[in-house]
Amino acid sequence: MPGLYYEEFEVGETIEHEKRRTVSERDNQAFCDVTMNQQPLHLDREFAAETEFGERLVNGLYTMSLAVGLSIPETTDGTIVANLSYDDVEHPAPVFHGDTVRARSTVTDKRETSDGERGVVTMRVEAFNQDDELVCEFERTVLSLKAPDDG
């Protein structure tokens, strides 16, 4: 499995995620439709043109979800039991249609579960646009599998 087992996470380690995605108008529209979020700032070109941003913004929850998805291959692909929480979410800058988003994760904490059979890992996930501007950051806490005992 490409993801990391509990023992392989090191507190302080930063993982740069290779995948990137350029966000399209269709991505934003589909996410808003599926989540029933019809906020005009995300969907109405004329409404958004009159705001301080001057154009439609990509839904912030899409940006956060995208950052999680981009982080999966190098962190928890196949080695996760569950996502436990997302905390301290911030969107310091907007994402616009056509922006390319990349992510990185820094392991901030880890501990074994009380039964010692799995581990809880907390990571600070940061998402950046093509200009390396921070567009989203949050803590992601996961319940991770321990490596199989080969003995």
Give which of 19, 4, 29 is closest to 80, Cα–Cα. Answer: 4
**C-alpha atoms less than 13 angstroms from C-alpha of 21 in its C-beta half-sphere:** 20
The pLDDT tens digits of the residues spanning 26-47 come to 999 999 999 999 999 999 999 9
CATH of the domain at 19: 3.10.129.10
d(CA 140, CA 88): 9
pLDDT band at 149 (very low <50, low <70, confident <90, very high): confident
Question: Please, what is the average pLDDT of the chain?
Answer: 96
Q: Give the domain extent around 49.
A: 6-145
pLDDT higher than 70, residue 79: yes
Whole-number pLDDT of residue 1: 56
For residue 150, is it within any domain? no
pLDDT, tens digit (0-9, with 9 covering 90-100), for 116-137: 899 999 999 999 999 999 999 9
Instruction: Look up the pTM and report it.
Output: 0.94
> Is residue 107 in some structural domain?
yes
Q: What is the pLDDT of residue 150?
A: 67
Is there a domain that residue 151 lies in?
no
Q: How many CA atoms does the CB half-sphere of 62 hold within 13 Å?
A: 27
Residue 81 included in any domain: yes
Report long-range pairs for 121-127 (Cβ below 8 Å, ≥24 apart). 121/6, 121/9, 123/71, 123/75, 125/67, 125/68, 125/71, 126/67, 127/63, 127/64, 127/66, 127/67, 127/70, 127/101, 127/102, 127/103
In contact, 56 and 97? CB cutoff 8 Å = yes
Domain count, the chain: 1
Structural domain contains residue 94? yes
Confidence of residue 2 (pLDDT cuts 50, 70, 90): confident
